[in-house]
Amino acid sequence: MISQQNDVVIVGAGPTGLLLAGDLAAAGVRTTVLERRLEESNLTRAFAVHARTLEQLDARGLADELISTGAQVPSLRLFGGVRVDLSSLPSRHPFVLITPQYQVERLLQRRAVAAGANLVRGAEVTGLRQDADGVDVDVTTQDGPVTVRTSYVVGADGLRSRVRAALGLPFPGKAVVTSLMLADVRLAEPPRDVLMVNAVGDAFAFVAPFGDGWYRVFAWNRRNQQPDGVPVDLTELREVTREALGTDFGMHDPRWMSRFHSDERQAPQYRVGRVFLAGDAAHVHSPAGGQGMNTGLQDAANLGWKLAAAVQGRAADALLDTYHAERHPVGRMVLRGSGAIIRLALIRSRPAQAARTMILRTALRLGPARRRMAGMISGVGIRYAAPRGAHPQVGTRAEDLPLAGDQAGGRLAEALRGGMFVLVAPSGADAAAARAWGDRVRVVTPTAATPLTLVRPDGYIAWVSEESEPGRRDEQLRVALGEWCGAPVVSQESDAVRSGTGQK
Ligand SMILES: Cc1cc2nc3c(=O)[nH]c(=O)nc-3n(C[C@H](O)[C@H](O)[C@H](O)COP(=O)(O)OP(=O)(O)OC[C@H]3O[C@@H](n4cnc5c(N)ncnc54)[C@H](O)[C@@H]3O)c2cc1C
C-alpha cells in the first residue's frame, strides 16, 4: 500500500533506487519506493562491480556477501593484449567482481526493506508537480490512479525516466554503438582468462563468466548493422567471436539473445527544486568499462546522507545542491571514459588498430598513467572538488584505516556502517568538541599517525586539520562540524560543563 506519510519517494527499484532507499530508511527517513514492475528482475545487464562500489557496500556491511556470489578478476584485458592491472589498487578490494546485476539488487532490496523502506510494486509514476513545501506524484496502481504527497522525489527510473520528462529536462546525446549483440551462453571450451575482449577488423567480442556455468557474450559486426528488433543469430555470434577472439569457445544453448544500441546521454541538471535524478535517469553510456550501475550506486551513496540531513532539518538547502555539483562532473567523466574505450575498441583500419595497441601499451607502462586508468575504471580515483585553500585530502575518498582497539570492528569502513560522519582523531588529539554532535559524528582513533580528519557518511573526506595548537584546532573543528553536520544537538556550553572542560 502506498503511504501518504512520506519524506522521500524514490521512483524505480533498480540498483540506484534500492541503495538510496536503504540509506534513507536506515537513517530514519520515511521512504517509499515506487516500482512499475510487479516482479523482481532476473535480467542481467550489469555484471561488473568495481572496487569503489565494493567499498561502499563494505561501509553498509554488504560487500562480503556479494563477493561470495561472484568471481574476482584482478586485471582487465582491453584490446591487443593490453591489460589494466587492478591488483595494486589501494583498496581492500583490488579487483573487479563479476556477478549478475540481480544479485546486487536482491541484496540491496533486502537491506532497504529490512531498514523500513516501503517498496510498492506495480506502481507506475506518470507525472509530478512540485510547490514550495513538497511534491505531488501521480501514480497508476493496480487499484487505479493515486496521487502521493512527499517532501522530496528521486527519479531513479532509468534511461526513459518519467521523472526527468516531468521536469521538462532534455537528455542530450547520441547513439555511440548500434547493433551490439548480447547473449548468455554455455561454452564447451571456456577461456583460461576470466575476461576476454578483442577487436579485429570489423569484429569485436567480449566474453565473461557469471560463475555459474553461464557466460555473457557481447559481439559487434560492422558488416551487419541491424535495428534493435532484429533477432540475433547464434551462427553470426559464433562467427564474430571467432574473428575477434580466435575461437568461439564451443558456444551453445543461449538462454537469451538480444540486440541493442547504446546511447551516450546526460541530463543537464541532477536537481530541480525538490526533485533529483540519479543513475541511468541522469546519465547513460556504453557498457564499455562496466560503469553504469557502479556510477548509479555512487550517485545514491552521495545523495542519501544529504537528503536525510535535509529531511531531519540538519542541513542548509545548499548541501542538496552539492549533489549535482559533485556527481554531474563524475557522470561527464564516465561518459567520456567509456566512450573513449568503445571508440578505441571499434577503430576500423588495421594500421590504426596497431597504433592504438602500441600507444596504449606504452602509456600503460608508465606508473602514473596505469594508476590513473585503474583509478578511473575502479572508481577509487574519483574525487570531489574542494574549496580553495582546503587541505589536499579534502574531497578524496578516505582510505580504510585500521582503528585502535576493537573500535567499530577495527576498520574505518566498519565505523561508517552507522551512516554517520566519522571523526578520525589521532590519540592525544582532543576531540571533545565532537561530543555536541554525538548523534551524527562517531569518533575513532587510528592506529597510524593520521591528521584530525572528518569523513562524510559516504566515505569522502570533508575536512582535515594539521593544526598543532590545541585551542585553534578545537575552534576549527567546531566550525567544520557546524558547517558539515548542522547545529550541535547539545549546546556546546552545557556539553563543556558536563564534561568538566568548561568549568572555571
Ligand atoms: C548490456 C548492458 C551491460 C551492462 N553492463 C554493466 C556493467 O557491467 N557494469 C555496470 O556498472 N553497468 C552496466 N550496465 C548498465 C547498468 O545495467 C545500468 O546502469 C543500471 O541498471 C542502472 O541502474 P538504475 O537503478 O539507475 O536504473 P534501472 O536499472 O534501469 O532501474 C530503473 C527502475 O525504474 C523502474 N521504472 C521505470 N520507469 C518507472 C516509472 N514510471 N514508475 C515506476 N518505476 C519505473 C524500472 O522498472 C526499473 O526497475 C549495462 C547495461 C547494459 C544494457
Per-residue model confidence as pLDDT tens for the chain (504 residues):
787 789 999 999 999 999 999 999 999 999 999 999 998 766 678 889 999 999 999 999 999 999 999 889 888 776 666 778 889 899 999 999 988 899 999 999 999 999 999 999 999 999 999 999 999 999 999 999 999 999 999 999 999 999 999 999 999 999 888 999 999 999 999 988 777 888 888 899 999 888 788 899 999 999 999 999 999 999 999 999 999 999 999 999 999 899 989 899 999 999 999 999 999 999 999 888 889 999 999 999 999 999 999 999 998 899 999 999 999 999 999 999 888 888 877 777 777 777 777 777 776 677 777 788 888 889 999 999 999 999 999 999 999 999 997 665 699 999 999 999 999 998 877 788 899 999 999 999 999 999 999 999 999 999 999 988 888 999 999 999 999 999 998 655 444 444 433 332
Please give the number of the atom of ligand 1 that sits closest to the Cα of 284. 19
C-alpha cell at 14: 533498480
375 Rama sector, left if φ>0, alpha if ψ -120 to 50, beta otherwise: alpha
Residue identifier of the C-alpha nearest atom 11 of ligand 1: 293
CB 85 within 8 A of CB 75: yes
Our measurement of the distance from residue 46's CA atom to the centroid of its chain's CA atoms, rounded to an integer in Å, reads 12
Task: Please name which of 158, 255, 267 lies closest in space to residue 215, comparing C-alpha atoms.
Answer: 255
Q: CA torsion sign, 378 to 380 to 382 to 384?
A: positive
Q: Return d(Cα 439, Cα 442) in angstroms, integer.
A: 8
CA 197 / ligand 1 centre spacing (Å): 23
Q: 178 CA distance to ligand 1 centroid (A)?
A: 18
For residue 260, the CA-to-ligand 1 centroid distance in Å is 14
Any residues with Cβ below 6 Å from ligand 1, and which?
11-17, 34-37, 45-48, 101, 124-125, 156-158, 162, 182, 279-280, 287, 290-294, 296
Q: Which residue is closest in CA terms to ligand 1's atom 37?
A: 157
pLDDT given for residue 496 in this prediction: 46
For a ligand 1 pocket test, name from 23, 33, 171, 293 the mutation site with the most ligand atoms within 8 angstroms of its C-beta: 293
Rounded distance between C-alpha atoms, residue 180 and residue 183, angstroms:
10
Residue having the nearest C-alpha atom to atom 33 of ligand 1: 12
Measured between alpha carbons, how far is 45 from 99 in angstroms, rounded to an integer? 10
Residue nearest to atom 29 of ligand 1 (CA): 14
> Which three cell numbers, joined as nine digits, stand for 423?
571523526
The values of phi and psi at residue 434, to 5°, are -70, -15
For the CA of 123, the closest atom of ligand 1 is 43
Neighbours of 2 (CB within 10 A): 17
Give the integer Cα–Cα distance in Å for 140 and 123.
6
Ligand 1 centroid to Cα of residue 412, in Å, is 30
Unique residue bearing C-alpha cell 546525446 = 173
Rounded CA gap, 104 and 96, in Å?
14
3-state secondary structure of 5: coil
Give the whole-angstrom CA distance, residue 272 versus residue 130.
Answer: 10
- Radius of gyration for the alpha carbons in the chain, expressed in angstroms and rounded: 24
The answer to whether 20 touches 75, Cβ cutoff 8 Å, is no
Query: Is the pTM for the entire model greater than 0.85?
Result: yes
Q: What pLDDT is attached to residue 424?
A: 96
Measure the CA–CA gap between 44 and 47, rounded to whole angstroms.
Answer: 7
